[in-house]
Structure 1
Amino acid sequence: MAVFIRATDNLLRERFTMAHELGHLLLPWHLPNANCEVGEGALDLPTYSLEAEADVFASCLLVPDAWLLHQVQRFGDDMSQLLRELNAAEVTTAAALQALRRYLLAGWVFVSYGERQVITATRGTRLPHASTNEEVVAYLAGECHAQGEASLNGFPVQWYRMVESVALPQRSPDDVRSDRQVLLDAIAMVEPDSQRRNSIAQSANGKVGGALREAGGRSANLTFQAVRHRCEQWEHSKLLAQPDFLLWLAERSRAVETGMTKRRRPKS
């Protein structure tokens, strides 16, 4: 197996290309037929593919999760500072944004590459069905809860936060309901049919469960905000207006932070 790298004046691009090709060599199911050419937009491939896997491998190698976690903990929601810090990783803009997409929860969108307007959104982020990138950017500017800009590799990157920053709901000390009962009480406020409530509860657990699995290691507050955002796209999104539903989301988020998948409470 031979790997050929074309020499260029772009050292950052060469580093990413070498890491990408190393991924093809080390991921055993990529051989013996890996034969690729990494393009400018490779990191935004919309479909699952060997090329996308190699891109993720390169991103993990050049921007390790442990290092990225430390930066996120340092800067929190200060995305402009986090983007500036990514310059230290000496990777292309696309690779840096792929790392953020890999690690951050739902609700973040980045626009890079100037007039080309390459849009990178974290998984689970709600975007409009628009015909042009210009329409998407206009939507982001009008609907975001925060936005800013930072220089990455000498070029501007705009960021948008689509998740509202809200306080984590707190359970009353005298509330001894199980988490399931809190959920059912919330559903009862919007669904009069008792037979349908269990079905909606199953749907809620399915909708939230996937998002919670991605949130391991994050704070309960960040998890709550991301899961709340994902539920805005759910057929039962009207539950977001119910305090008990938000309390249920908060309790599930705390359980993920503490490593508990279930919480038991004393019976009344």
Structure 2
Amino acid sequence: MNRFEAVRKFARRIADRFDLTPPIDVSNIFSEMDIQIVEEENQYGIEAYSQLNDNKVIINTEITYIPRRRFTLAHELGHICIPWHNGDVKCIAGEHYIQVSGKRLLDTQELEANIFASELLMPTSWVKEKIEEYLEQGFQILVRNITESAQTSTMACFFALENAMPSGNIFFVKKETDEYWRTFSSVNTCTISWNYLAEKNMEFLDVICEKKEECKISQYGVIYYQVLPCPTTKVITYT
């Protein structure tokens, strides 16, 4: 089991412990686990601050969008529940990159906390049930149902879908203010990259896809593709 799967397991343990199903009441989990939530203004753009040794989370009072607040609290709960996280952690939930000497580098602990939050709020097994029920009706309908049922943000839903969707599902996401498309590819889906240009990938997928859907979800423009799934390792080995 890799670290990311271990993190998902920690989140599922919390859900099982308190017999939780979406929408998850994150504040109640904090109360049950005797973790203090303190609300404070923060002028540095930090959304939340975890004091892991004291079981305390300080959250920015400027976070008034409820789905964002719930994800931020779930993210901080991840820092507390993941055993190899320690000390004090300052976070912008959902962002897991840091700037070091002008380079954008992955912050593994922040990524792990995001994975924990996603699994807690939208359990993989639950998301898979939603995919089976709603994907045939359209990608936009699927996303809307998940976000409304789990009371989560659209971007958090995109991450949950990338993990839960079967092989052969790819979607590109972009806000009007973004310069580049963000690519989400389901597990075991083979993609081709030309210098990381999403537009080139789209040209290729336009030719080979079985299904394509363009839509606007919340503030995001979305292009969804369904292609033939990759063969399993067992099939490849047999062949």
Give TM-score, length-normalised by structure 2.
Answer: 0.60
Q: Partner letter of residue 118 of structure 1?
A: R
1:185-229 deviations in Å (ceiling 9; x for gaps)? xxxxxxxxxxxxxxxxxxxxxxxxxxxxxxxxxxxxxxxxx4527
State whether residues 96 and 107 of structure 2, in contact with CA within 8 Å, keep that contact through their aligned partners in structure 1.
no
Q: Which residue of 1 aligns with 2:224?
A: 159
Q: 1:93 aligns with which of 151, 154, 173?
A: 154
Q: Which residue of 2 aligns with 1:56?
A: 115
Bigger mean CA deviation after superposition, 51-60 or 134-143: 134-143
Q: Unpaired runs of 5+ in structure 2?
A: 1-50, 98-103
**Distance verdict in 2 for CA 1:129–1:72, change over 3 Å:** closer
- Separation of aligned partners in 2, 1:37 and 1:26: 18
Which of the two has greater strand per residue? 2
Q: Unpaired runs of 5+ in structure 1?
A: 164-225, 240-244, 246-268
Give TM-score, length-normalised by structure 1.
Answer: 0.54
- Separation of aligned partners in 2, 1:64 and 1:84: 16
CA deviation after TM superposition for structure 1 residue 135, in Å: 1.9
- The residue matched to 2:193 in structure 1 has which SS? coil
Please report the RMSD computed on the Cα atoms of aligned residues, expressed in angstroms. Answer: 3.2
Same amino acid, percent of matched pairs: 26
Q: Decide which structure has the larger Cα Rg and report it.
A: 1
**Distance verdict in 2 for CA 1:157–1:26, change over 3 Å:** same
**Distance verdict in 2 for CA 1:77–1:102, change over 3 Å:** same
- Between the two proteins, the alignment pairs up a number of residues equal to 172
- The residue matched to 2:172 in structure 1 has which SS? strand
Q: Partner letter of residue 104 of structure 1?
A: M
Within the alignment, does 1:3 sit opposite 2:67 as a pair? no
Q: 1:228 aligns with which of 226, 231, 234?
A: 231
Which of the two has greater helix per residue? 1
